[in-house]
């Protein structure tokens, strides 16, 4: 279960990063949305690191 959860987090991180890259290429002038998705990716990445640390401590 823990192995599955960590793989899911990695897939989600890659998905968010590719989404940001796609938005950056298609809508280069929409800097507000781009910065919002950058913030979302950074926040979700930190959340994933925190969850992996908690799972490692609890297991």
What is the reported pLDDT for 1?
A: 57
What is the pTM (predicted TM-score) of this model?
Answer: 0.40
CA dist., res. 57 & res. 54, Å (int): 5
Q: Which two tokens stand for residue 35?
A: 């910065």
What is the reported pLDDT for 29?
A: 62
Instruction: Give the SS3 label for residue 53.
Output: helix
List, for residues 40-51, the tens digit of each pLDDT value.
777 888 888 888
List, for residues 3-54, the tens digit of each pLDDT value.
666 777 787 778 888 877 777 676 666 666 667 777 777 788 888 888 887 8
**Cα atoms in the Cβ-side hemisphere of radius 13 Å centred on 47:** 9
Structural domain containing residue 50? 2-58
Q: What is the number of domains present in the chain?
A: 1
């Amino acid at each position: 279960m823990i192995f599955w959860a960590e793989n899911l987090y990695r897939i989600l991180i890659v998905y968010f990063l590719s989404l940001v890259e796609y938005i950056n290429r298609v809508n280069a002038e929409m800097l507000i949305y781009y910065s919002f998705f950058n913030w979302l990716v950074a926040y979700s990445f930190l959340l994933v690191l925190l969850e992996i640390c908690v799972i490692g401590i609890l297991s």
